[in-house]
Amino acid sequence: MNPMLEGMLETALYVRDLDEAEAFYESVLGLEKITRAANRHVFFRCGPGVLLIFNPEETVKPPAPDALQVPPHGTTGGGHACFRVSGRNIDAMAERLRAAGVAIESEVHWPNGGRSIYFRDPAGNSLECAEAKIWGIEQDI
């Protein structure tokens, strides 16, 4: 796991190309894959949390009678996830992204002193790396 990504602050994401997403989240962000279920989902460990990547075309289907009874769900359009990153690691994370050819769309210095960087995954989801203090959360975990 990438030690600069200390955890998830927000959400599950939906992508139509799980192979592309799996490669991005493993190789670019350095997350540890937990499991993949065919073309339905791929799950990653991120700090103490889990990032769920679903294919919306598969998650809208009702579960098979012998499967876990997770109700159909999904969304269309880009989502958002925010990775918890310490202030001392935000610049290093931005460099890692740029080295992988990922553009930083925006850098925000919040009024409370916290900082965020924004970028996109291959599916167009808006991703953010932020200091936890943007939400008034103690930085060190």
| Chain segment 92-119, per-residue pLDDT in tens | 999 999 999 999 999 999 998 899 999 9
Residue of 136, 107, 95, 100 lying closest to 121 (CA atoms): 100
pTM strictly above 0.95: no
CA distance 4 to 61: 36
- 41 compared with 72, residue with greater pLDDT: 41
Identify the bridge partners of residue 41 per DSSP, sorted by sequence position. Answer: 37, 54
> What would the two tokens of residue 110 be?
């919040």
Give the model confidence (pLDDT) of 16-65 as tens digits: 999 999 999 999 999 999 999 999 999 999 988 899 999 999 888 877 77
Tell me whether strands 106-109 and 80-84 are parallel, antiparallel or unpaired. unpaired
List of domains in the chain: 7-63+75-135 (3.10.180.10)
CA distance 67 to 91: 43
